[in-house]
Structure 1
Amino acid sequence: LWINSIEYVCRGPPAAVPALTPIGLIALVGLLSVIAAMSVRRRK
């Protein structure tokens, strides 16, 4: 899935790159928040 999207971005027009960037940032923030929440719950 990620490989296909990367190939599409590389082959597609440059305008497609900024469109996928916010989605990637949101995904990273979501994963980090989940990991942080789990670590905080384990410490308590």
Structure 2
Amino acid sequence: MDLSALTGAVDLTTVTAGILAIAALKMLPAVARWATARIVSMFGR
């Protein structure tokens, strides 16, 4: 079974982009909470 075509299609940049996209999606709720708290604290002064 020759998988060279499959492994050639999945190069390092594709894997890196996928990992970064997943990391961004996991961080998004925390960043949104932080930004909301900062904006609310600015108006609360």
RMSD: 2.1
Off by >2 Å, runs of 4+ in structure 1 = none
Higher relative contact order (CA 8 A, sep 6+): 1
The number of residue pairs the alignment matches comes to: 29
1:18 equivalent to 2:18? Answer no
Structure 2 gaps of 5+ residues are 1-15
In the superposition, the TM-score normalised over structure 2's length comes to 0.52
Higher-Rg structure is 2
